[in-house]
């Protein structure tokens, strides 16, 4: 009978499990920190929204249209912050294991925030006469929407091209725990993905760069260089 | 990009198994010093060195020259070159060599091509020595090798003693990476030797006790890797195999990816086929550690390599391929994308679990590499830092790729040709 290093097999197993659990706890600790981070950012962004709402109310009631430009800058900045946090939240959610519920609640908050900003944007367009086009983008997972990657890529590109003159609000169509999502889907008669709604006009299936560009340019009062040069 | 849960579980299992093996061998390393026992040679035992050669006109003379320089009693040494049906100038060159060096007992056997196993058996049949040494015709021996190896046969159950194998004068990156790989393998094999777990006695200058070799029936003539088969057979009969780290032998290493692929494909396929042949030893208490750690390693090493490389390639490269493909949608207008690029980084974005895995693996690799250098008495970065970096971060991908090729070959039932 040959010798068997039984002790070493057991010790190696214990150390391996030790390292595994260390990794697991580190992962969970990071997840907790991520949730805290998003929560604190979200509180700050809620405050920002209230402040912005107040600024518009101020302009509206005291006819302070001359301040429109400055407030619109804040509006744009807030929306950008909101979008980058939303993307971060999506990534965190993908990697999370135990904090799904907390992250889902946060996702809910972000969906509501997007809708609030969209509605506020609509109001300010009238109030300040801003030359802005809104796009609502409804996406789904890879199974239901293999073209969503492409659509998101094109929209990101157009956002970078038109910057503050184009506002894009993305909605996860699967996120039906927020009642506003089915409501919006019903309003615009959305059943396939990707669907984009440009200034209230829904377009289902993947839309190429030029199609969207032509459409949004038709809404601008002042045609920029990007609308003429393709 | 989201990684499906079953892929995650597979990757974690792969990682934990690799980690387990690394920790196990680390424990073996720290558990006391180990050196093969040596006894003083009272007399010079008769040694037969068999050099199987198939179309080796480029290297055979260098190999034979290194043999006649061996510091050993001339009349206790015979060299048998088995010309395995070479179609080049090998035969002429060897004949000239014999004529020139007639003070040495050198024989040439010419036979039709039947493969290395048969050639070694031919040599074995005519050999007179107490010890049988096989030497590939692309290897060079240092002159004190025999004197260092023979004293290791201190116990009767020691069947084979292996020298320290190094890559000869590495010239390009492929050979430099293999130079490092050989150092690590030698150190790893020394650890295996500690638990009598060595599973292969490679072609260059493995010294066998001839009586044992004859008792087990010589080499398998129909085998891709006859050196691996004979070692597994010896293990199955509970013989011991020892690894030395002072008797040096140099071997030529493949100098291109194509050559490396061909060589490794044969080795790895051979290891799998032979492991199946001796599968009864796996997790069999009768064979001790060999059955519990080495046999499973032979079976799963390829699987681990394939899982790692394919998932790394798929999930690592897919986003870039996608972006490149999507660029068509925006008429390759990268300027707009770069112009407005905003650096938005948060420490929490990092995937710490993946980083922890990478750090642990890298630390183990660096530790093993450092110890391997010191055990084989080589200077770190002897052949440049670049080869070290390539070895650490790139070489495992190459090996994984070769394993992937093997899996595909097996899946499509492709037979390996020599």
Task: Quote the pLDDT of residue A164.
Answer: 84
What is the ipTM, given to two decimal places? 0.88
Q: What CATH number was assigned to the domain covering residues A132-221?
A: 3.40.30.10
| Residue B415 pLDDT class (50, 70, 90 cuts) | low
Q: What is the model's pLDDT at position B154?
A: 86
For residue B182, tell me if it sits in a domain: yes
Strand-pairing partners, residue B81, are: B51, B108
| pLDDT band at residue B37 using 50, 70 and 90 as cut-offs | confident
CB atoms B329 and A209 under 8 Å: yes
Could you read off the pLDDT of A125-172 as tens digits, one per residue? Answer: 888 888 889 999 999 988 899 999 999 999 999 998 888 889 999 999
CB B231 within 8 A of CB B198: yes
Residue B151: CATH number of its domain: 3.90.550.10
Q: For chain B, report the end-to-end CA distance as a whole number of angstroms.
A: 42
- What is the per-residue burial (b if ≥16 Cβ within 10 Å, else e) of B380-393? eeebeeebbebbbe
DSSP track, B198-259: -----STTEEEEHHHHHHTTS--TT-TTHHHHHHHHHHHTT-EEEEEEEEEEEE----SHHH
| CA–CA dist A125, A141 (Å, integer) | 32
Planar angle of CA B185, B187, B188, nearest 5 degrees: 60
Contact list in A for residue B322 (CB cut-off 8 A) is: 149
| pLDDT tens-digit series, residues B73-99 | 989 999 999 999 999 999 999 999 999
| B360 in reach of chain A (CB within 8 A) | yes
Q: Which of residues 189-228 of B touch A (CB under 8 A)?
A: 195-196
Q: Where are the alpha helices (DSSP H) in A63-179?
A: 68-95, 100-128, 148-162
Residue A62 binned pLDDT confidence (cut-offs 50, 70, 90): confident
- pLDDT at position B6, please? 87
Nearest-Cα distance to chain A for B13, in Å, is: 11
Is residue B404 in a domain?
no
Instruction: Give me the residues paired with residue B109 across strands.
Output: B82
Inspect the interface and report whether the beta carbons of B20 and A16 lie closer than 8 Å: yes
| A172, β-bridge pairs | A139
Q: Is residue B144, in this structure, part of any structural domain at all?
A: yes
Tokens 């061996």: give the residue. Answer: B70
**What confidence tens digit (pLDDT) does each residue in B356-385 have?**
888 999 999 999 999 999 999 999 889 999
CB contact under 8 A, B288 and A3: yes
Of B19, B333, B348, the CB nearest to A16: B19
**Using CA atoms in the order B225, B226, B231, B237, what is the torsion angle rounded to 10 degrees?**
130
Query: Which range scores top for mean pLDDT: A21-30, A74-83, B117-126?
Result: B117-126
Nearest chain A residue to B293 by CA: give it: A9
Q: How confident is residue B42, by pLDDT bands cut at 50, 70 and 90? A: confident
Query: Where in the sequence is the domain holding B259, given as residue range(s)?
Result: 47-276
Question: Which residues in A lie closer than 8 A to residue B344 (C-beta atoms)?
Answer: 84
Residue B303 lies in a domain: no
Which residues from A are below 8 Å from B357, CB to CB?
23
Smallest Cβ–Cβ distance between B329 and the set A23, A37, A153 belongs to A153
- The Cα B21–Cα B345 span in angstroms is 37
For range B7-21, the mean pLDDT = 92
3-state secondary structure of B141: strand
pLDDT band of residue B387 (cuts 50, 70, 90) is: very high
**CA distance linking residue B184 with residue B169, whole number of Å:** 17
- When divided into structural domains, chain B yields a total of 1
pLDDT digits 0-9 by tens, B180-222: 999 999 999 999 999 999 999 998 999 999 999 999 999 999 8
CA B185 – CA B198 distance, rounded (Å): 11
Query: Nearest CA to B268 among B416, B370, B110, B389?
Result: B416
Q: What is the mean pLDDT of chain A?
A: 89
**Contact flag B27-A8 (C-beta cutoff 8 Å):** yes
Q: Cis link prior to B129 (omega < 30° from 0)?
A: no
Looking at beta carbons, which residues of chain B come within 8 Å of A20?
16, 19
Question: How many Cα atoms sit within 13 Å of B135 on the Cβ side?
Answer: 35
Q: Which distant-in-sequence residues (6+ apart) come within 8 Å of A49 by Cβ?
A: A78, A113, A116, A117, A120
What span, in angstroms and rounded, lies between the C-alpha atoms of B356 and B240?
39
Q: Is residue B240 a contact partner of residue B196, using CB atoms and an 8 Å limit?
A: yes
Question: Which residue bears the tokens 């070493």?
Answer: A8
Instruction: Report CA-CA distances (Å) from B165 to A53, B131, B227, B384.
Output: 76, 19, 15, 20
Question: If contacts are CB pairs under 8 Å, which of residues 69-128 in chain A contact chain B?
Answer: 84, 88, 91-92, 94-95
User: How high is the pLDDT of residue A87?
Assistant: 85
**Distance separating alpha carbons of residues A123 and A116, to the nearest angstrom:** 11
Partners of residue B336 on adjacent β-strands: none
pLDDT for B402: 95
* B207 inside domain: yes
The model's pLDDT over B324-344, given as tens digits with 9 standing for 90+, comes to 888 888 888 888 777 766 777
Flag whether residue A213 sits within 8 Å of chain B, measured between CB atoms. Answer: no
């Amino acid at each position: 009978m040959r010798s068997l290093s039984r002790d070493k097999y057991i010790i190696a197993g214990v150390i391996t499990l030790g390292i595994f659990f260390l990794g697991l706890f580190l992962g969970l600790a990071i997840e907790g920190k991520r949730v805290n981070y998003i929560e604190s950012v979200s509180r700050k962004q809620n405050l920002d929204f209230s402040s912005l709402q107040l600024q518009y109310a101020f302009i509206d009631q005291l006819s302070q249209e001359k301040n429109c430009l400055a407030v619109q800058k804040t509006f744009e900045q807030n929306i950008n912050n909101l979008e980058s946090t939303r993307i971060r939240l999506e990534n965190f959610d993908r990697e999370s294991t135990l904090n799904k519920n907390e992250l889902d609640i946060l996702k809910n908050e972000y969906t509501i925030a997007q809708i609030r900003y969209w509605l506020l944007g609509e109001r300010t367009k009238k109030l300040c006469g801003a030359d802005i086009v809104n796009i609502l983008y409804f996406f789904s997972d890879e199974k239901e929407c293999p073209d969503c990657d492409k659509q998101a890529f094109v929209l990101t590109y157009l956002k970078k091209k038109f910057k503050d003159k184009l506002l894009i609000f993305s909605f996860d169509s699967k996120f039906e725990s927020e009642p506003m999502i089915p409501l919006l889907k019903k309003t615009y008669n959305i059943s396939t993905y990707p669907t984009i709604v440009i200034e209230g006009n829904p377009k289902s299936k993947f839309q190429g760069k030029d199609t969207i560009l032509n459409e949004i340019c038709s809404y601008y009062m002042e045609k920029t260089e990007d609308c003429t040069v393709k | 990009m989201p990684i499906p849960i079953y892929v995650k579980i597979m990757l974690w299992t792969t990682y934990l198994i690799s980690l387990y093996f690394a920790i196990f061998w680390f424990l073996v390393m720290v558990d006391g010093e180990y050196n093969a026992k040596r006894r003083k040679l009272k007399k010079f035992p008769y040694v037969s060195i068999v050099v199987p050669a198939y179309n080796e006109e480029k290297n055979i003379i260098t190999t034979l020259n290194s043999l006649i320089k061996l510091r050993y009693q001339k009349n206790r040494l015979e060299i048998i070159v088995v010309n395995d049906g070479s179609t080049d100038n090998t035969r002429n060159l060897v004949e000239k060599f014999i004529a020139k060096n007639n003070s040495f007992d050198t024989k040439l056997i010419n036979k039709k091509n039947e493969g290395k196993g048969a050639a070694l058996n031919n040599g074995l049949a005519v050999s007179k020595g107490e010890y049988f040494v096989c030497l590939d015709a692309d290897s060079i021996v240092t002159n004190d090798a025999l004197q260092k190896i023979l004293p290791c046969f201190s116990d009767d159950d020691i069947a084979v003693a292996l020298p320290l194998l190094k890559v000869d004068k590495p010239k390009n990156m492929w050979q430099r990476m293999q130079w490092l790989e050989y150092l690590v393998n030698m150190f790893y094999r020394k650890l295996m030797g500690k638990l009598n777990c060595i599973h292969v006695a490679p072609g260059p200058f493995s010294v066998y006790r001839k009586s044992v070799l004859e008792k087990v029936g010589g080499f398998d003539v129909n085998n891709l890797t006859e050196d691996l088969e004979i070692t597994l057979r010896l293990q199955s009969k509970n013989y011991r195999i020892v690894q030395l780290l002072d008797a040096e032998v140099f071997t030529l290493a493949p100098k291109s990816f194509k050559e490396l692929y061909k060589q490794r494909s044969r080795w790895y396929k051979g290891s799998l086929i032979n492991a199946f042949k001796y599968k009864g030893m796996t997790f069999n208490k009768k064979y001790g550690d060999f059955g519990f750690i080495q046999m499973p390693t032979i079976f799963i090493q390829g699987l681990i390599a394939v899982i790692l490389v394919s998932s790394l390639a798929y999930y690592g490269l897919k986003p870039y391929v996608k972006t490149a493909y999507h660029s068509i949608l925006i008429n390759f207008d990268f300027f707009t994308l770069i112009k407005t690029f905003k650096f938005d980084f948060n420490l929490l974005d990092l995937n710490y679990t993946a980083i922890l895995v990478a750090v642990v693996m890298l630390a183990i690799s660096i530790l093993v590499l450092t110890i391997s250098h010191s055990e084989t008495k080589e200077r770190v970065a002897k052949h440049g830092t670049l080869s070290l970096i390539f070895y650490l971060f790139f070489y495992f991908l190459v090996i994984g790729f070769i394993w992937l090729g093997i899996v595909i070959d097996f899946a499509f039932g492709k037979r390996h040709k020599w």
